[in-house]
């Protein structure tokens, strides 16, 4: 099935497959290729409209049965760490941050495999080999960085985040960390450090990916102050998670053709942000 805007790019819809977040549901995605001279501007524009990047593709959930998956971002100026997050920052004060171009290493892959085996052994990435991992890290037509975190004293790699640089923020494409260091709350620490990275760069947002009401896997994102979710075509400050339960019900999703018609492309009227 293909739906086309009056101008390029073209948008497609994936075949339904089991939802990884809500049991008993099926997911499908609306997606388009990210390539050529317009890749940077297209990524900037569509990220503001709830899309995410995976290698050379931009996608957004477009499920027939619900609209629970909402893109989430932290508004940096509204963020204040909670007491537990302050403790996480103190514990991680000696962690070293290294930033480089998107280049995969064996050390990264070893950490990635360890993370999957202990945290997501039955997930969609469980069978990813070293070549697929390298493609995930390196195939990016836009400004992307690999941000590595190393343990104090030993300089051992303990966490990695693949991060896109947008015109209004940083987008955490994918992160993984040493599951043996759970006491250090490395997943939380990576997000907190990205808030600092955005602040240092004068960028207003940290894009976290999708938050899904009713999904324990995504519940942690609701614990960050200053969180906004993309809902009904606009960004809004997140309220109580209970306020979004209706999004998991059927009949909330617009027809595909209407979704595509409402996408703002670079050079047209700006998307609401």
Locate the domains of the chain by residue range. 76-205
Average pLDDT over residues 230-259: 80
What is the topology classification, in CATH, of domain 76-205?
Aminopeptidase (3.40.630)
Q: How far is CA 256 from CA 2, 34, 121, 232, 259, in A?
A: 10, 20, 33, 14, 5
Q: What is the pLDDT of residue 186?
A: 95
Tokens of 55: 């290698």
**128/142 Cα distance (integer angstroms):** 23
Tokens of 26: 């099926």
**67/213 Cα distance (integer angstroms):** 10
Quote the mean pLDDT of the chain: 89
Annotate 150-163 with b (16+ C-beta within 10 A) or e (fewer).
Answer: bbeeeeebbbbbbb
206-221 residue pLDDT tens: 999 999 988 888 888 9
Q: What is the pLDDT of residue 90?
A: 95
122-162 residue pLDDT tens: 666 778 899 999 999 999 999 999 999 999 888 999 999 99
Q: What is the pLDDT of residue 5?
A: 47
Give the closest residue to 192 by CA, choosing from 158, 225, 146, 235: 225
Average pLDDT over residues 61-72: 88
């Amino acid at each position: 099935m293909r739906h086309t805007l009056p101008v390029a790019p073209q948008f497609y819809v994936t075949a339904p497959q089991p939802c990884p977040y809500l049991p008993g549901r099926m997911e499908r995605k609306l997606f388009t290729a990210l390539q050529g001279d317009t890749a940077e501007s297209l990524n900037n524009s569509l990220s503001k409209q709830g899309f995410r990047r995976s290698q050379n593709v931009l996608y957004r959930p477009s499920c027939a049965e619900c609209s629970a998956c909402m893109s989430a971002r932290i508004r940096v100026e509204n963020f204040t760490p909670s007491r537990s997050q302050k403790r996480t920052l103190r514990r991680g004060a000696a962690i070293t941050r290294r930033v480089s171009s998107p280049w995969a290493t064996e050390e990264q892959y070893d950490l990635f495999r360890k993370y999957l085996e202990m945290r997501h052994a039955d997930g969609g990435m469980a069978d990813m080999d070293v070549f697929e991992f390298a493609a995930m890290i390196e195939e990016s037509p836009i400004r992307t960085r690999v941000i590595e975190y190393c343990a104090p004293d030993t300089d051992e790699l303990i966490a990695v985040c693949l991060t896109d640089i947008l015109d209004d923020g940083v987008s955490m494409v994918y992160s993984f960390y040493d599951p043996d260091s759970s006491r250090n709350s490395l997943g939380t620490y990576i997000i907190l450090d990205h808030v600092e990275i955005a602040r240092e760069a004068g960028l207003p947002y940290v894009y976290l990916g999708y938050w899904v009401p009713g999904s324990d896997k995504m519940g942690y994102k609701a614990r960050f102050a200053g969180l906004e979710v993309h809902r009904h075509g606009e960004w809004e400050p997140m309220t109580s998670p209970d306020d979004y339960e209706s999004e998991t019900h059927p009949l909330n999703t617009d027809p595909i053709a209407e979704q595509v018609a409402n996408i703002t492309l670079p050079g047209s009227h700006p998307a609401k942000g």
